[in-house]
A and B are shown apart, each in its own frame.
Chain A
Amino acid sequence: MATDYRVGGVHHNAFDIDADGLYLYLAVLNSSNTPQVLKMSVSMTVNATVVYNPGSGTEIGLMAGDLSSYFIWAAGALGGTNKVALTEDGGVYWTVMDEGSWSGVARPILVGPGNDLLVTTSTDLSYRQSRTEGDSVYWIERTLLGTIWSVDRVDDNFDDAVVGAYWYTGDSEELVHYSPNSGLSWENITDTLTPPGTITSLIIGH
């Protein structure tokens, strides 16, 4: 039976294509407003299949790893308290990867370089970056001044260079910031442009 879907709420991470370019993954809300991840062949000749169903939640986004086609990260507000989940086999099994203590929604997210690094912000005005050691995942938390709408990395040195599009709700000032040290400090680089409104998405040329 056909089900109607809409974008999962984390618009900057609404969909992605795996590293091999074979499958399209979509972060959606189904007709019951439940987050799900759908998988569809890029040929678009057959219907999608549901590969992740956390059961409840309000928002979802995703991003594919760039080394292995089997790594897909999903983030948002999933299954009640969970924020981040990862599959390492193309969607068959999913593992909850966050500590479950976040108060907001994990968005936006940025993966890479590699499959096992994730940066995400949260609507609780914090910024988090994952670290993996063996099978364990650790989170580094930074405090932000406002909401981040979009993040991208400048180059492959993910740890040292992340750019975020900020929107400071206090004074409605739209800013683009650059971090050379994993979010420990941020530099305002907005002086060369004057955004006409809220910055909702940015892309860095690679």
Chain B
Amino acid sequence: MATWSRVAAFAVAGRLRSICSDGTNIFYMLASGANFGGYARAGDYYQYEFGVGNTKIVDQSNMGWSLTYGCVVYAGDLYMLEWVSGDSIFGPNHVGNVHRWNGSVDSTTIVRNSFDLDYSVYKGVGYYRIFADDDGLYTAVVANDGTGEGYRSNYYLTEFYNGSWSTSTFGVDPVEGSTRTTYQAANPLGVFEIFNRDSDGTAWVARASGSAAFSVYQGSPPAFGSILGSNPGGTLHFGTLISNSYYLNSAMSSMTQIPDISCIQQYNMPYLCGLEYVGPGSNFYTLSESGPSWTLLELVDEGAFDPAFDVTQTAVLRMDNGNVYIFGQNINTGFAEIWLRSEPLNPPTYDRRLYIYKTTDSGDSWTVRKVET
């Protein structure tokens, strides 16, 4: 039986929100939400390197005002999505920026700003996420016209590929009579959004893709509560309001109940892992790469997690070497905690892709291109 041990704990400002890794031994964690004059303060990104043990803030001052960020490691660099919320200070527009940090200096560069949003129709709550696959870096933004129940959602899927950006825009109309939720997930197969109708439990899941098409699945699980994540194959995992969890396959043709997984690993990791919160301890699950079958590995020892460990703000990452880490925040101390499983899980067999980097100014800036024919 594997055991879990806490390998790091350190203070962070605000709530732990985004966690990402390069797949080896470096982790980035965003804490944000500390109030400043009534507004959510920009987040602080912390870098933690196993084997070195230090933590440092890699970005703070350049970030705007936001409640939600995302981060992803792509081609060796850390990319962070900043969303500047509209308010009385900044006006009604909502502006998204992508920052890149290459580790050379303690500051970041805005590599993409002012997404091509149709500000004139944007009134509702936005949704935004950054993710990557082997072919590119993506940001997904959902805006709506805010006219009330059944309003149209406008999607903006922006792709960074071989040094240039392109944006696709398309819209999804919710099913008539449904209550729109704000639960979305994004992966390379598209942006998922749930339209929910509580009266009879019927729900619709819409998926928009870069081809400007969308598809809708009608299911009948209990009312959806949240989208937990999606895996590289496009399988969508989500929870319900009565604490069940389900997955929807990539073809959007069938839905199956799974253990109540509280968190799902990010896309750029090769496997999915999950935690089921069962009180002071948690059941640790893994999801096989080949299909949506979950295997209960063990109960995470009750002594491992403080009862105050906020599993809802948890991420599980499996590294290239098979090491498995759980990230979370102790709601009593506010400390970010990192836990390591004593036994690595099978490391992935995939190959990292080949990139070429070029500098023409002695390293101040770099051009990167994926090697392909």
Contacts from A to B (Cβ < 8 Å): 2-7, 15, 24, 26, 28, 38, 40, 42, 44, 47-50
Contacts and interface: CB of A to CB of B under 8 A. Distances in A.
B373 interface: yes
18 contacts: A2-B135, A2-B372, A4-B353, A4-B354, A5-B353, A5-B371, A7-B354, A15-B356, A24-B356, A26-B354, A28-B371, A38-B373, A42-B358, A44-B358, A44-B367, A47-B373, A49-B373, A50-B373
A2 B372 CA distance: 6
Nearest to B368: A44
A40 B354 contact: no
Size bracket, chain B contacts: 10 to 19
A3 B372 contact: yes
B373 A48 contact: yes
B351 interface: yes
Contacts of B356: 15, 24, 26, 40, 44
B135 A5 contact: no
A4 B134 contact: yes
Contact of A5 (B358, B369, B372): B372
Nearest to B351: A6
A80 to B, nearest CB: 23
A6 B352 contact: yes
Given A6-B351, A28-B354, 18 more contacts: A2-B373, A4-B351, A4-B354, A4-B372, A5-B354, A6-B353, A15-B356, A26-B354, A28-B371, A38-B373, A42-B358, A44-B356, A44-B367, A44-B369, A47-B372, A48-B372, A49-B373, A50-B373
Given A4-B351, A4-B353, A38 B358 contact: no
Contacts of B371: 5, 26, 28, 38, 40, 48
Contacts of B351: 4, 6
Interface string B346-357: 000001111010
Contacts of B369: 44
Contact of A3 (B352, B367, B373): B373
Contacts of B358: 42, 44
B142 to A, nearest CB: 28
Nearest to A33: B351
Contacts of A42: 358
Give chain B's interface secondary structure class: loop
Contacts of B134: 4
Q: Which 4 A-B pairs have the closest CB atoms?
A: A2-B372, A44-B369, A5-B354, A6-B351
Contacts of A6: 351-354
B130 to A, nearest CB: 22
Contacts of B135: 2
A44 B353 CA distance: 16
A7 B351 CA distance: 10
A71 to B, nearest CB: 22
B369 to A, nearest CB: 4
A3 B134 CA distance: 11
Nearest to B134: A4
B371 to A, nearest CB: 5
B305 to A, nearest CB: 38
Contacts of B372: 2-5, 47-48
Best-buried of A2, A24, A42 by chain B (most CB within 10 Å): A2
A6 B353 CA distance: 6
A6 B352 CA distance: 7
Best-buried of B135, B351, B356, B373 by chain A (most CB within 10 Å): B373
Interface in B315-373: 351-354, 356, 358, 367, 369, 371-373
Nearest to A26: B371
Contacts of A7: 354
Contacts of A2: 135, 372-373
A28 B353 CA distance: 11
Contacts of A44: 356, 358, 367, 369
Contacts of B373: 2-3, 38, 47-50
A40 B358 CA distance: 13
A80 B129 CA distance: 48
A3 B372 CA distance: 6
A62 B193 CA distance: 49
Nearest to A15: B356
Contacts of A5: 353-354, 371-372
Contacts of A26: 354, 356, 371
A150 B354 CA distance: 22
Contacts of A4: 134, 351, 353-354, 372
A158 B371 CA distance: 33
A24 B355 CA distance: 13
Interface string B130-141: 000011000000
B164 to A, nearest CB: 10
